[in-house]
Amino acid sequence: MLDLALIGFFGLLLLMGLKRPFIWVLLYIYVDIVAPQKVGWGIIQSLPLSLMAFAAAFCGWLLLDSKQGSRFTFRQGLILLLLAYCAMTTLMAQFPEAAQVKWDWVWKAMIFAAFLPLTLRTKLRLEAAALVMALAVGAIVINGAMKTVLGGGGYGTLSLLVDENAGLYEGSIISTAAIATIPLILWLARHGTIFKPEWKVWTFAGAFVFACLLIPIGTSARTGLVCIAFLGAFMLRSVKYKFVYAGFAGLALIAAIPFLPQSYLDRMGTITNHQSDQSASTRLAVWSWTLDYAARNPLGGGFDAYRANSFTYHTIETTEVGGNVMRDYTEVTEEARAYHSSYFEMLGEQGWPGLIIFLWLHALGAWQMERIRWRFAKRENGRKSWQYGMATALQQAQLTYLVGAAFVGIAYQPFIFMLVGLQCGLWSYIQRVEAKPAKARFTRPGSEVPKPAEA
C-alpha cells in the first residue's frame, strides 16, 4: 500500500508537469531529498525514480519551458569546474572502485545545482523551490521529532523514514540540514504567496521549527548543538529587537535543560573534553593525517582516499577516587576512518585545488547574498521586502550548514548544492530585474545631423 501511494504521488507530479514543466524540477528536489525509492518496501525500490525525475526536469526545461530570463552565472561555472576536477581525480583515484560509487551520486548533485538556476526565472519559482526543499526535509524531520518526543531517540538509534545511516538519514547530517532549514521556514511563513501568511501557516511553521530543534536531541548529534548555537547568534544581526530576542532565547534554553535526557547532556559534555571521547579524538587524528596526506598528494587522492589512513592516539579517562584524580591512558589504533569534516574531506579527496574552488564557491555565495541585503536595506521599507528576506535566509542557511560541515563529511550533499542553486537563481533574478536601463542619448532640437542622400 505504501509503494502504491508513493508511486501514485510520483506519477501524479509527472502528469502535472506536462502542463507546467517546472513541476518536474520540484519533483527531482523531492526525490533527491526524501528518496521515496528507499522508503517503500516493494516494487518502488527497483524503479530509477531519481534518474526519471532528473531526465524529466532537464528535458522539460530544454524542450517545453521558456528560456526567457535564464542566465548562466559565474558560480554555476565554478560548480562545473569543481565537477570537472572531481571527474579527473576519480579517474586517478587511489581506490578506484570506492571512488566510482561516490562519483555516481556526486555528479548528479553538481549537475542539478548548475542547472537549477536556469529554471528559477520568477519569484514564484524561487519560492516554490524553497518550499519543496523545506517540506521535503520536513518529511524526515517531523517523523524523527515525533519519535523523539515519544522516547525513541538516542545516538545512532533514532529511526527515520529509511533504516540506513547514509545521506540525509545519518544523524549528524539530518541535524545539520534541519537547523539550516529553519531560516527558509521563517522566510516562507513571512513572505510566502503559495501559502499566504496567516495564523495556520505560522502555527505550522512554529511546530516545524520546533521539530527541527528536536532532531539534534533525538540523534544526540553534537554537530546539531553547534549549529543551533551558531544560527541563534547569527540571527541576532537580522532581528529588530536584539535584546528581547536574546532574552527569550536564553529563557528558552534554561527552561529546556530540565527536559533534556541525561544521555544527551552527557554526550554534549564531551564537546569540551575531546580527549575523553574516542569519536572526537579520532577526528583530530584523521585531520592531522589528512594534512600530511595533502602534503604528499597536493592534487588529492580521489573519492574515499581516507581508506589509506592508519594512526594511533591516546584517550584520557579521568576519575576521582577518595578525593584523588586518577587518569587512565588508553592507546587506540584506527584504520580507514572517515574525515568527519567537509573541509578535510575536500582536501584529502580533491587536494588544494578542489578545496580552493569549494571555498571560493561558498564565499562568493555569502558575499552575493550580503550584496543583495545591502542593496535593499538602503531602500524605504527594503528590509521588509521578500528579496532582502530571502537573501538573509539563504545566507543563514548556507553558513549554518557550513559550520556543521566542519564536523561532518557533507561537502557534496545534494542539500547544500540545492541551496547554492537557489542563491544563484536569486542573484540572477535580482541582477536581471534590477538592471539599470541603458542611458538615453539626448540631442538638442535642430542639432540632428542630416542623413546622407541615398544613392
For 74-93, give the DSSP string: HHHHHHHHHHHHHHHHHHT-
> Confidence band (pLDDT; 50, 70, 90) for 454?
very low
* pLDDT, position 127: 97
Residue 452 in this model has a pLDDT that exceeds 50: no
Of 201, 156, 150, the residue nearest 175 (C-alpha): 156
Q: What is the DSSP letter of 437?
A: P
Query: pLDDT per residue over 94-131, tens digit each?
Result: 999 999 999 999 999 999 999 999 999 999 999 999 99
> Confidence band (pLDDT; 50, 70, 90) for 269?
low
Is residue 425 within a helix (H) or strand (E), and if so which, with residue range?
Answer: helix 414-433
Is residue 331 within a helix (H) or strand (E), and if so which, with residue range?
Answer: strand 324-335
Q: Which residue has the higher pLDDT, 150 or 173?
A: 173
What whole-number distance in Å separates Cα of residue 441 and Cα of residue 364?
36
Residue 441 in this model has a pLDDT that exceeds 80: no
Residue 437 in this model has a pLDDT that exceeds 80: no
> Which of 164-168, 248-252, 256-260 shows the lowest mean pLDDT across its residues?
256-260
Query: pLDDT per residue over 131-147, tens digit each?
Result: 999 999 999 999 988 88
* pLDDT, position 281: 72
Query: pLDDT per residue over 338-383, tens digit each?
Result: 888 999 999 999 999 999 999 999 999 999 999 999 999 998 888 8
Alpha carbon distances (Å) from 309 to 94, 104, 281, 313, 337: 12, 23, 15, 13, 7
Please report the DSSP string for 249-278 in residue order.
Answer: HHHHHHHHGGGS-HHHHHHHHTTS-GGG-H
- Spell out the residues 6+ positions from residue 169 whose beta carbon is closer than 8 angstroms to its own: 35, 140, 160, 161, 162
Q: Which residue has the higher pLDDT, 183 or 256?
A: 183
> Which of 212-226, 244-258, 267-281 shows the lowest mean pLDDT across its residues?
267-281
Q: What cell numbers appear for 412 in the block?
A: 557534496
Residue 180 and residue 401 in contact, taking contact as beta carbons nearer than 8 Å:
yes
Q: What is the mean pLDDT of residues 276-292?
A: 77
Average pLDDT, the chain: 85
> Confidence band (pLDDT; 50, 70, 90) for 79?
very high
pTM of the model: 0.87
* pLDDT, position 453: 44
